[in-house]
Amino acid sequence: MARIVATVSGGLDSVVLAHHLVDQGHDLLMLSIDYGQRHRKEHEFAERTAVRLGADYEVVDLRNIATMLPGYSLTDSNVDVPDQHYTAPGSVNVVPNRNVILLSVAFGRAAAEKADKVAIGTVAGDDATAPDCSREFIDAFNAMERVATAGYAPAELQVIAPFIDVAKSEVINLGDRLGVRWAETWSCFNGYDVQCGLCAACQDRRLAFEKSDVSDPTEYRNG
């Protein structure tokens, strides 16, 4: 059994990741990182997951960092979340360098408690718009941390991304087998009480359910 620090937002992929790691018998610390995102409602669902799984859970308060990240729909209230799917790199829905920030915090926490691994729920295709979801990025980040924490963290401590080659629809199929409660996951980039159904994250969610063998129980504001 390994001690794993996982970044779990409350989104579909990260909630399945948490279930997967616990199913494998690992000792899990779930970190939800508040970087001032407009959809911080997702953390409610991460906490529910932690309670259900009996996992340790912490919220890291980095809300003030949003003021340093203007121009993106997730961190700038002056930028609307567009009702459209991702297109080319440069989408206002992507906060460049976000995973560098999130994983640096998670890795620091893991090093401090001598954990075995850090886990992130990146899935296949995420790197099409977000370069810091790519295998190249994960490899480079681990190389950097080997230097940054040499002598202060377990030599085997590294970031793992178990779903990096797995399509979101297949992640849903796995989660269904593990008993994930889909109504208790949050994908929407907006901060509504109900997921909008139109933003890029909602469209990705809906499409993935369509491609999976699982029916989508999500309530959407727009059909």
State the sign of the Cα–Cα–Cα–Cα dihedral 139, 13, 214, 51.
positive
Domain membership of residue 223 (yes or no) is no
Any domain includes 222: no
Inside any domain, residue 19: yes
Name the phi and psi angles at 59, rounded to 5.
Answer: -110, 130
Q: How many structural domains are present in the chain?
A: 1
Q: Is residue 114 assigned to a domain? A: yes
DSSP letter at 220 equals B
CATH number of 156's domain: 3.40.50.620
pLDDT greater than 90 at residue 129: no
- Mean per-residue pLDDT, 92-102: 93
Name the pairing type of β-strands 27-34 and 117-119: unpaired
**Global model pTM greater than 0.75:** yes
218 in a domain, yes or no?
A: no
What range does the domain containing 160 cover? 3-211
Alpha-carbon span 222 to 22, nearest angstrom? 34
- 217 located within any domain: no
Specify which residues 27 forms β-bridges with. 3
Residue at 153 is within a domain: yes
H or E stretch covering 139: helix 135-148
**Average pLDDT of 147-157?**
95
CA 223 to chain centre: 25
Q: What is the rounded CA–CA span in Å between residue 122 and residue 133?
A: 6
Is residue 184 assigned to a domain? yes
* 209 band by pLDDT with thresholds 50, 70 and 90: very high
- As a whole number of angstroms, the distance between CA 219 and CA 223 comes to 8
| pLDDT reading at 88 higher than 70 | no
Q: Do 4 and 117 form a contact (C-beta atoms < 8 A)?
A: yes
